Structure 1
Amino acid sequence: MATTKKTPTQAKTLKVPETAPAMAPKGTAAGAEPEVVVTESPTIVGPELKKKELIDIIVARSGVKKRDVKPVVDAMLAVLGETISDGREMNLAPLGKLKITRMKKTTKAHIITTRLRRTDPQPTDAPDPLAQAAE
Protein backbone atom coordinates (compact mmCIF):
# COMPACT_ATOMS: atom_id res chain seq x y z
CA MET A 1 0.00 0.00 0.00
CA ALA A 2 1.46 3.33 -1.04
CA THR A 3 1.04 6.41 1.07
CA THR A 4 1.46 9.98 0.00
CA LYS A 5 3.39 12.42 2.02
CA LYS A 6 1.98 15.91 2.59
CA THR A 7 4.21 18.67 1.41
CA PRO A 8 4.59 21.80 3.53
CA THR A 9 2.70 23.83 0.91
CA GLN A 10 -0.50 21.88 1.48
CA ALA A 11 -2.55 23.65 4.14
CA LYS A 12 -5.40 22.29 6.14
CA THR A 13 -8.74 23.97 5.59
CA LEU A 14 -11.09 24.34 8.48
CA LYS A 15 -14.77 23.75 7.98
CA VAL A 16 -16.81 26.75 9.13
CA PRO A 17 -19.97 25.75 10.98
CA GLU A 18 -23.23 26.60 9.28
CA THR A 19 -24.26 28.73 12.24
CA ALA A 20 -21.46 31.23 11.61
CA PRO A 21 -23.58 33.71 9.56
CA ALA A 22 -26.19 33.75 12.32
CA MET A 23 -23.52 34.73 14.88
CA ALA A 24 -22.28 37.70 12.85
CA PRO A 25 -23.21 41.11 14.32
CA LYS A 26 -26.05 43.04 12.69
CA GLY A 27 -25.07 45.05 9.67
CA THR A 28 -21.91 43.09 8.88
CA ALA A 29 -21.29 40.49 6.25
CA ALA A 30 -20.61 36.94 7.45
CA GLY A 31 -17.09 36.91 5.96
CA ALA A 32 -16.13 40.46 6.99
CA GLU A 33 -13.33 40.96 9.49
CA PRO A 34 -14.26 42.85 12.67
CA GLU A 35 -12.80 46.31 13.04
CA VAL A 36 -10.83 46.93 16.23
CA VAL A 37 -11.25 50.42 17.65
CA VAL A 38 -8.76 51.59 20.23
CA THR A 39 -9.71 54.80 22.00
CA GLU A 40 -6.99 54.82 24.63
CA SER A 41 -3.91 56.86 23.94
CA PRO A 42 -0.60 55.18 24.73
CA THR A 43 1.05 56.31 27.94
CA ILE A 44 4.73 57.07 28.06
CA VAL A 45 6.28 55.57 31.16
CA GLY A 46 9.27 57.31 32.65
CA PRO A 47 12.11 55.65 34.49
CA GLU A 48 11.09 53.70 37.60
CA LEU A 49 11.38 55.26 41.02
CA LYS A 50 14.04 53.60 43.15
CA LYS A 51 14.14 53.69 46.96
CA LYS A 52 17.20 55.97 47.03
CA GLU A 53 15.46 58.55 44.84
CA LEU A 54 12.29 58.28 46.94
CA ILE A 55 14.28 59.03 50.09
CA ASP A 56 15.96 62.02 48.41
CA ILE A 57 12.57 63.43 47.33
CA ILE A 58 11.14 63.01 50.84
CA VAL A 59 14.19 64.75 52.35
CA ALA A 60 13.78 67.65 49.90
CA ARG A 61 10.01 68.03 50.57
CA SER A 62 10.06 67.60 54.33
CA GLY A 63 13.34 69.24 55.31
CA VAL A 64 14.09 66.34 57.66
CA LYS A 65 17.59 64.89 57.73
CA LYS A 66 18.27 61.86 55.55
CA ARG A 67 19.37 59.70 58.48
CA ASP A 68 15.94 60.29 60.08
CA VAL A 69 13.93 59.67 56.89
CA LYS A 70 15.54 56.38 55.82
CA PRO A 71 14.27 54.16 58.69
CA VAL A 72 10.76 55.58 58.35
CA VAL A 73 10.68 54.90 54.59
CA ASP A 74 12.05 51.38 55.12
CA ALA A 75 9.39 50.64 57.75
CA MET A 76 6.62 52.09 55.58
CA LEU A 77 7.64 50.04 52.55
CA ALA A 78 7.82 46.90 54.68
CA VAL A 79 4.31 47.47 56.04
CA LEU A 80 2.92 48.19 52.54
CA GLY A 81 4.57 45.04 51.17
CA GLU A 82 3.18 42.86 53.96
CA THR A 83 -0.30 44.33 53.53
CA ILE A 84 -0.29 43.68 49.79
CA SER A 85 1.03 40.13 50.21
CA ASP A 86 -1.77 39.46 52.75
CA GLY A 87 -4.29 40.44 50.06
CA ARG A 88 -5.73 43.36 51.99
CA GLU A 89 -7.14 46.44 50.28
CA MET A 90 -5.63 49.80 51.15
CA ASN A 91 -7.17 53.25 51.09
CA LEU A 92 -4.35 55.74 51.55
CA ALA A 93 -5.43 59.34 51.02
CA PRO A 94 -3.11 60.96 48.48
CA LEU A 95 -2.03 57.64 46.96
CA GLY A 96 -5.54 56.28 46.34
CA LYS A 97 -7.42 53.04 46.85
CA LEU A 98 -5.43 49.91 46.06
CA LYS A 99 -7.32 46.67 45.41
CA ILE A 100 -5.80 43.22 44.84
CA THR A 101 -7.28 41.65 41.70
CA ARG A 102 -5.16 38.51 41.29
CA MET A 103 -2.47 36.62 43.15
CA LYS A 104 -0.30 33.90 41.62
CA LYS A 105 2.58 32.07 43.24
CA THR A 106 5.33 30.80 40.94
CA THR A 107 8.54 29.00 41.76
CA LYS A 108 10.59 32.19 41.68
CA ALA A 109 8.12 34.94 42.60
CA HIS A 110 4.76 35.88 44.00
CA ILE A 111 2.90 37.79 41.27
CA ILE A 112 0.25 40.19 42.55
CA THR A 113 -1.95 42.16 40.17
CA THR A 114 -3.51 45.29 41.64
CA ARG A 115 -5.77 48.15 40.66
CA LEU A 116 -5.13 51.64 41.93
CA ARG A 117 -7.97 54.13 41.84
CA ARG A 118 -7.12 57.79 42.30
CA THR A 119 -9.45 60.74 42.41
CA ASP A 120 -8.74 63.72 40.20
CA PRO A 121 -7.09 66.53 42.13
CA GLN A 122 -9.31 69.53 42.72
CA PRO A 123 -8.16 72.75 41.02
CA THR A 124 -6.47 75.02 43.54
CA ASP A 125 -6.52 78.18 41.41
CA ALA A 126 -10.30 78.58 41.86
CA PRO A 127 -11.37 81.88 43.42
CA ASP A 128 -12.29 81.94 47.09
CA PRO A 129 -16.02 81.18 47.36
CA LEU A 130 -16.39 83.69 50.18
CA ALA A 131 -16.55 87.32 49.21
CA GLN A 132 -14.04 89.71 50.71
CA ALA A 133 -15.38 92.16 53.24
CA ALA A 134 -15.92 95.67 51.90
CA GLU A 135 -13.60 98.23 53.41
Structure 2
Amino acid sequence: MNEIAEIADTDAKAVAQMKVRDLIERVAGSVEQNKKDVRTIVEATLVELGKAMEAGESLNLPPFGRVRIANQKADATGQLLTLKLRRGGEKKPGKNAGKEALAGAGEAS
Protein backbone atom coordinates (compact mmCIF):
# COMPACT_ATOMS: atom_id res chain seq x y z
CA MET A 1 0.00 0.00 0.00
CA ASN A 2 1.37 3.40 -0.85
CA GLU A 3 1.94 6.19 1.67
CA ILE A 4 -1.07 8.29 0.60
CA ALA A 5 -3.45 5.35 0.96
CA GLU A 6 -2.05 4.62 4.42
CA ILE A 7 -2.62 8.22 5.49
CA ALA A 8 -6.20 8.07 4.22
CA ASP A 9 -6.82 4.81 6.08
CA THR A 10 -5.50 6.06 9.42
CA ASP A 11 -7.14 9.48 9.42
CA ALA A 12 -9.88 10.46 6.99
CA LYS A 13 -9.15 14.16 7.56
CA ALA A 14 -5.40 13.92 6.88
CA VAL A 15 -4.40 15.12 3.42
CA ALA A 16 -1.07 14.59 1.70
CA GLN A 17 0.62 17.95 1.25
CA MET A 18 3.39 19.04 -1.07
CA LYS A 19 5.58 21.84 0.20
CA VAL A 20 7.97 24.05 -1.77
CA ARG A 21 10.99 21.98 -0.78
CA ASP A 22 9.20 18.83 -2.02
CA LEU A 23 8.42 20.50 -5.35
CA ILE A 24 12.02 21.65 -5.72
CA GLU A 25 13.29 18.16 -4.98
CA ARG A 26 10.94 16.55 -7.51
CA VAL A 27 11.70 19.07 -10.24
CA ALA A 28 15.45 18.81 -9.65
CA GLY A 29 15.20 15.04 -9.95
CA SER A 30 13.11 15.10 -13.11
CA VAL A 31 15.37 17.54 -14.99
CA GLU A 32 18.60 16.29 -13.43
CA GLN A 33 19.68 19.74 -12.25
CA ASN A 34 21.03 20.81 -8.89
CA LYS A 35 18.54 21.95 -6.27
CA LYS A 36 20.08 25.41 -5.92
CA ASP A 37 19.38 26.32 -9.56
CA VAL A 38 15.95 24.73 -9.50
CA ARG A 39 15.05 26.52 -6.23
CA THR A 40 15.59 29.93 -7.87
CA ILE A 41 13.35 29.06 -10.81
CA VAL A 42 10.60 27.38 -8.75
CA GLU A 43 10.45 30.22 -6.23
CA ALA A 44 10.31 32.85 -9.00
CA THR A 45 7.57 30.86 -10.74
CA LEU A 46 5.50 30.68 -7.55
CA VAL A 47 5.88 34.43 -6.99
CA GLU A 48 4.65 35.16 -10.53
CA LEU A 49 1.72 32.74 -10.17
CA GLY A 50 0.77 34.47 -6.93
CA LYS A 51 0.93 37.89 -8.58
CA ALA A 52 -1.27 36.69 -11.44
CA MET A 53 -3.87 35.31 -9.04
CA GLU A 54 -3.84 38.54 -6.98
CA ALA A 55 -4.45 40.49 -10.18
CA GLY A 56 -7.50 38.33 -10.90
CA GLU A 57 -5.97 36.49 -13.84
CA SER A 58 -6.98 32.93 -14.57
CA LEU A 59 -4.22 30.47 -15.37
CA ASN A 60 -4.08 28.04 -18.28
CA LEU A 61 -1.09 25.81 -17.56
CA PRO A 62 -1.17 22.46 -19.35
CA PRO A 63 -0.74 19.77 -18.16
CA PHE A 64 -1.54 21.19 -14.69
CA GLY A 65 -4.89 22.55 -15.86
CA ARG A 66 -6.96 25.70 -15.88
CA VAL A 67 -7.32 27.64 -12.65
CA ARG A 68 -9.76 30.45 -12.09
CA ILE A 69 -10.86 32.46 -9.08
CA ALA A 70 -14.35 31.37 -8.06
CA ASN A 71 -14.62 33.73 -5.08
CA GLN A 72 -12.38 36.16 -3.25
CA LYS A 73 -12.50 38.29 -0.14
CA ALA A 74 -10.03 40.07 2.10
CA ASP A 75 -9.91 39.91 5.88
CA ALA A 76 -7.48 40.84 8.62
CA THR A 77 -5.26 37.84 7.83
CA GLY A 78 -4.96 38.60 4.12
CA GLN A 79 -6.67 37.74 0.87
CA LEU A 80 -8.79 34.57 0.67
CA LEU A 81 -9.21 33.12 -2.82
CA THR A 82 -11.44 30.18 -3.65
CA LEU A 83 -10.02 28.59 -6.78
CA LYS A 84 -11.48 26.16 -9.28
CA LEU A 85 -9.13 23.82 -11.08
CA ARG A 86 -10.19 22.06 -14.25
CA ARG A 87 -7.92 19.25 -15.28
CA GLY A 88 -8.24 18.05 -18.85
CA GLY A 89 -8.45 14.45 -19.87
CA GLU A 90 -7.80 13.16 -23.33
CA LYS A 91 -8.28 15.75 -26.03
CA LYS A 92 -11.48 15.24 -27.98
CA PRO A 93 -11.03 14.90 -31.71
CA GLY A 94 -11.98 18.05 -33.58
CA LYS A 95 -14.60 18.25 -36.31
CA ASN A 96 -11.90 17.67 -38.96
CA ALA A 97 -10.43 14.59 -37.30
CA GLY A 98 -10.05 11.74 -39.72
CA LYS A 99 -10.26 13.97 -42.81
CA GLU A 100 -7.43 13.78 -45.28
CA ALA A 101 -5.40 16.93 -45.95
CA LEU A 102 -5.85 18.55 -49.37
CA ALA A 103 -2.09 18.78 -49.95
CA GLY A 104 0.92 17.03 -48.48
CA ALA A 105 3.49 18.95 -46.45
CA GLY A 106 5.85 19.37 -49.43
CA GLU A 107 3.07 20.17 -51.91
CA ALA A 108 1.82 23.45 -50.44
CA SER A 109 2.60 26.48 -52.56
TM-score interval (norm. to shorter): 0.5 to 0.7
As a proportion of its length, which structure holds more helix? 2
The number of residues matched between the two structures is 80
The CA deviation string for residues 86-122 of structure 1, in whole angstroms up to 9 with x for no partner, is 1111101111111111110001121001100011257
The CA deviation string for residues 8-54 of structure 1, in whole angstroms up to 9 with x for no partner, is xxxxxxxxxxxxxxxxxxxxxxxxxxxxxxxxxxx986321100111
Q: Unaligned regions of 5+ residues in structure 2, if any? A: 1-11, 92-109
The CA deviation string for residues 40-76 of structure 1, in whole angstroms up to 9 with x for no partner, is xxx9863211001110001111101111101000100
Q: Where do 1:1-135 residues align within 5 Å?
A: 46-121=15-90
TM-score by length of structure 2 reads 0.67
Q: Unaligned regions of 5+ residues in structure 1, if any? A: 1-42, 123-135
- Secondary structure of the residue aligned to 2:83 is strand
Higher RCO structure, 1 or 2 (CA under 8 Å, sep 6+): 2
Answer with 98-107 or 113-122: which moved more.
Answer: 113-122
- Secondary structure of the residue aligned to 1:47 is coil
As a proportion of its length, which structure holds more strand? 2
TM-score by length of structure 1 reads 0.55
